Amino acid sequence: MGDRAKHPIIIGITGNIGSGKSTVAALLRSWGYPVLDLDELAARARENKKAELKRLFPEAFAGGELDRRALAQLVFSDPERLKALEDLLHPEVRRLLAEELARIKAPLIFLEIPLLFEKGWEALLDGTLLVAAPVEERVRRVVARSGLSPEEVLARERAQMPEEEKRKRATWVLENRGGLKELEEGLREILARIQERFGLS
């Protein structure tokens, strides 16, 4: 991407529900790497576009506040309304992301993007890191932390691109089948490969 002082290496982190991508992002932050969370930017975008959201999806508001679960239910099975939501929010998310990237002065930046491949973000990145785990383990993790039923978790899983397809597309795959120590070791190995690939010290 040219002059690295002006154009940092940007790596996307993704993974299906319950894969451990947020744990990987937290590890990177603890090691001093800047990590931007696209979900946080999306929350800011929703707040910035609250008036427009209320006009488009009045039934998703209760007491003047947006009910994210109600909004998700509205668009989940309605492609037209989903497109209207994305057309409203995606440009704002990209604007906020550009602001954040301009603010950060670092040679290597990570973006945590849940729907990275589904939404075509890989075309804007220097590389992609998939955090992968068996579906049974991912369902168990999400049920334990969220209160969702296994059926609800599997419904969300089916709404995402299959992990097998993401494995084919990802630049690097980090297996998250064991404990935190194994995850850290695997992540450090991939970091070394990223640094070698892009000539980072």
The C-alpha atoms of residue 172 and residue 193 are separated, in whole angstroms, by 9
Q: Which residues fall in the annotated binding site?
A: 18-23
CB 45 within 8 A of CB 93: yes
Angle at 7 between CA 126 and CA 23, to 5 degrees: 50
The helices-and-strands tally (H runs, E runs) of the chain is: 9, 7
The C-alpha atoms of residue 175 and residue 1 are separated, in whole angstroms, by 28
Q: Which residues fall in the annotated binding site for ATP?
A: 18-23
The C-alpha atoms of residue 88 and residue 76 are separated, in whole angstroms, by 16
Residue 164 has which token pair?
């097998």
